[in-house]
Structures are given as C-alpha cells and as structure tokens.
Amino acid sequence: MSLFSFTKPLTLEDLKDIDSGRIQRSKDLRIKKVDQYLVTDKPDTLLGTIYRKFLEVIAKKPFEVLSKVLKYEIVNTKNNNSHIVIIKVPMHVDEKKLMKQKVKIYCDCSDFMYRCAWVLNNHNNLFLNSRIKDALGIAISTQPMKVKPTVACKHAYAAIEDLIKNYRQYLIVK
Ligand SMILES: [Zn+2]
C-alpha cells in the first residue's frame, strides 16, 4: 500500500446503498434503542492529528468533535434472533448535511462479520473497541474472497433508518 493511498470514508447515504434483498428483510426487524452516550473524538490518522493541532493554533483553543454513540437491540420478528448494532455519529449536525455525515457502525451478526467488516474498516467506517476487535478477529483485515461484500447488513440498515428518522431527537440539529 502506498503512503498516499487513501479510501474515502462512507457517509450515511452510502451506507444505505445496499441490495434490495437486505432492505426487504430489514422490514422484519423490531428495533429498540438500548443505550446512548456522548464521546469526544480523537483524530484517527497522523494527518488528522496534525490538522487538528493546526485548527487549535488558529482558533487558540482546543478543537473537539463531539459524537453520539447509539446502541440498538434488533430482533428478527420471524425467528426471535437478536443482534446488537452500534452507530457513532457526529453531534450538532447541520440538517442539510445529515446524509453526508461520516458514521461508524458495527453489528454482531455473521453477515456483518464476513461481508461488511473489512469494507467498512477500509473506509474507516467500522466502529471498534477492544471487545469488537476480539470478536471480529481477522475479519477486520481479511478481504472477503468467496462472498460479495456489502456496506451494511439488514440490522445496520434498520438502525440507520431509525437514526435518520429520529435525528432531531438524537443529535442537536443546527
Ligand atoms: Zn447485522
């Protein structure tokens, strides 16, 4: 990989762009938001860190980006299987820019693990903590070879739909 190769982060709009089968199956899910909390983002890259420092020098104050982490429990009404989806999305969003927000997402289902995790990690859209890193293991760094990758499973899609529907309530909208 070259030093300058760079994969653009995906937006909410990009993450909704999945196949019609998963979208259709997302209608069978019952979703419940079980937790939400605020976090202060640190830049993910060295370039991001330098840029942040630059902004702080210009503004003469610490530059902080506040995000909300939403946690969902998603139950398939056909078989009662349940999965956890986590989405991290910037707070204080401008309404017109909602669909252009870069979000991080995770689901604990196997579709996500085998078809989404690698793609999302490549775009810097994978929500990670130490527990999730352990759970996904090599799925984070191994490109799917035998299956067609996708940017979201049906659970993630359902959670994104809930976020878009309720963004006024979840995010402080400008
Ligand atoms: Zn899933």
The answer to the question of residue 19 being in a domain is yes
The structure tokens listed for 129 are 């903590």
* Residue 118 alpha carbon to ligand 1 centre in Å: 14
The structure tokens listed for 1 are 């990989």
Residue 5, classed as helix, strand or coil, is coil
The mean per-residue pLDDT over the stretch 41-64 comes to 80
The answer to the question of residue 18 being in a domain is yes
The answer to the question of residue 147 being in a domain is yes
The answer to the question of residue 2 being in a domain is no
The answer to the question of residue 6 being in a domain is no
Range of the domain at 103: 12-170
Domain count, the chain: 1
* Residue 103 alpha carbon to ligand 1 centre in Å: 16
pLDDT number for residue 6: 65
Considering the chain, what is the average pLDDT of its residues?
91
Which candidate, 158, 165, 174, places its Cα nearest to that of 72?
158
* Residue 89 alpha carbon to ligand 1 centre in Å: 18
* Residue 84 alpha carbon to ligand 1 centre in Å: 8
The answer to the question of residue 106 being in a domain is yes
The mean per-residue pLDDT over the stretch 5-34 comes to 93
The mean per-residue pLDDT over the stretch 28-51 comes to 87
Q: Could you give the strand order of the β-sheet that contains 65-76, starting from the edge strand earlier in sequence?
A: 29-41, 65-76, 82-90, 104-107
* Residue 121 alpha carbon to ligand 1 centre in Å: 15
Instruction: List residues bridging with 107 in a β-sheet.
Output: 85
CB 166 within 8 A of CB 70: no
pLDDT classification of 153: cutoffs 50, 70, 90: very high
The answer to the question of residue 4 being in a domain is no
The mean per-residue pLDDT over the stretch 33-47 comes to 86
* Residue 174 alpha carbon to ligand 1 centre in Å: 31
Task: Report if pTM > 0.85.
Answer: yes
The answer to the question of residue 138 being in a domain is yes
Interatomic CA distance for residues 34 and 74, integer angstroms: 10
* Residue 158 alpha carbon to ligand 1 centre in Å: 9
Instruction: List residues bridging with 71 in a β-sheet.
Output: 35, 86
